């Protein structure tokens, strides 16, 4: 059965189809002819409404579940709506934009911390599960410096070979001599410049023991604390994934079997191979992607939909993706601008 393209639908058919889909996206339940007839924009009789609904069903855009006389959009109908009939909300409310303030300021945030905050902000706004993917390519250190900022606080600065700069604040005893900061900086640059961050973190303790005659106790402690602040970086070359707001999606599940499938989806997403697969889908499309239900193998068993948008570095290369996982009836028109804004906020932070 072939679905009607948008251009072949009459104005009345489009109006009724839009009402059905919008009502379904809001409630997640079948829509009956009474709901449509009561809509202020519809002046047709109930019989005419039912006839148009039957026509839309015959065209493969709607179907009637066994438990209700109402209609739901088919997969083809929902795809037609998302691609050709949906009216996007182009801007976010001011209060929503304010949620991303930590990314705009970015003081002392590592990349992973910033991505986690972006995922939390998106899950909070969308009331769905939110994910952020990033290729955790190993970072090569170009320069390391220890800078005093307060009596007991030292700023550790790492400059990477790709130009990215990260800062960490560490606590130290009051009155640490300036020469310790210089010695720590010189030692780190002398031993680790040009090396990947992952190997530096892993080998640091062993190296300090081997070169303990070069360092006094304070300088050695300074180096240890500085490197400890980067100990969460693992240097893997597979895509890593940060997932927040899983409870939002679980609360929407109404059937026990679906609950088990959604939990299985979360388990799959924890596997880096699946995150890499999802990342490749975004890179190959080179733009915002909407997967409805079974359109992506990873989500086919759950009936969930996902909206994904890439984020890019200063050279416009796609380096990661951010998205929302929600029920099939999530409000796409509201979610898409959120995902798009989040991807741009991440790119601004990174660049």
- E-state strands within 117-238: 129-135, 141-150, 153-160, 165-171
Both structure tokens of 82: 């998302």
For residue 1, pLDDT over 50 is answered with no
For residue 8, pLDDT over 80 is answered with no
> Which residue is it, tokens 């009939």?
85
pLDDT at 254: 61
What confidence tier does 239 reach under pLDDT thresholds 50, 70, 90? low
- Nearest 5°: phi and psi at 160? -95, 165
Question: Stretch 47-69: mean pLDDT, rounded?
Answer: 88
Angstrom distance (rounded) from CA 343 to CA 323: 8
More reliable by pLDDT, 349 or 208: 349
pTM over the 0.75 mark: no
| Closest listed residue to residue 340, CA positions, set 126, 75, 134 | 126
Domains contained in the chain, CATH given:
6-85 (1.10.10.10), 94-136+238-350 (3.30.450.40), 141-228 (3.30.390.60)
**What average pLDDT does the structure give for the chain?**
82
pLDDT at 24: 94
């Amino acid at each position: 059965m072939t679905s009607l393209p948008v251009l072949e639908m009459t104005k009345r058919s489009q109006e009724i189809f839009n009402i059905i889909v919008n009502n379904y996206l809001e409630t997640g339940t079948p829509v009956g002819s009474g709901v449509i007839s009561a809509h202020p924009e519809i002046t047709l009789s109930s019989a005419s409404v039912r006839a148009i609904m039957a026509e839309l069903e015959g065209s493969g855009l709607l179907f009637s579940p066994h438990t209700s006389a109402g209609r739901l959009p088919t997969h083809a109908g929902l795809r037609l709506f998302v691609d050709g009939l949906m009216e996007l909300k182009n801007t976010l409310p001011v209060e929503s934009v304010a949620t991303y303030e930590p990314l705009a300021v970015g003081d002392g945030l590592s990349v992973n911390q910033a991505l986690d905050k972006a995922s939390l902000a998106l899950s909070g706004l969308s009331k769905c599960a939110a994910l952020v993917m990033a290729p955790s390519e190993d970072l090569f250190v170009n320069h390391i410096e220890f800078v005093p900022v307060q009596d007991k606080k030292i700023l550790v600065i790492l400059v990477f070979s790709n130009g990215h700069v990260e800062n960490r604040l560490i606590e130290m005893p009051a009155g640490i001599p300036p020469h310790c900061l210089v010695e720590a900086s010189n030692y780190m640059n002398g031993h680790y410049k040009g090396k990947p961050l992952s190997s530096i973190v892993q080998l640091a303790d062993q190296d300090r023991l081997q070169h303990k005659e070069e360092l006094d106790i304070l300088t050695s402690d300074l180096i240890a604390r500085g490197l400890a602040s980067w100990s969460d970086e693992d240097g893997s070359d597979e895509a890593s994934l940060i997932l927040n707001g899983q409870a939002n999606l679980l609360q929407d599940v109404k059937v026990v079997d679906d609950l088990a499938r959604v939990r299985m989806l979360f388990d799959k997403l924890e596997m880096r191979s699946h995150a890499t697969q999802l990342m490749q889908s975004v890179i190959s499309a080179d733009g915002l992607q909407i997967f409805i239900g079974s359109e992506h193998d990873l989500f086919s068993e759950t009936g969930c939909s996902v909206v994904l948008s890439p984020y890019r570095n200063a050279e416009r290369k796609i380096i990661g993706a951010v998205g929302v996982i929600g029920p099939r009836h999530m409000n796409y028109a509201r979610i898409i601008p959120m995902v798009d804004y989040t991807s741009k906020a991440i790119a601004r932070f990174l660049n």
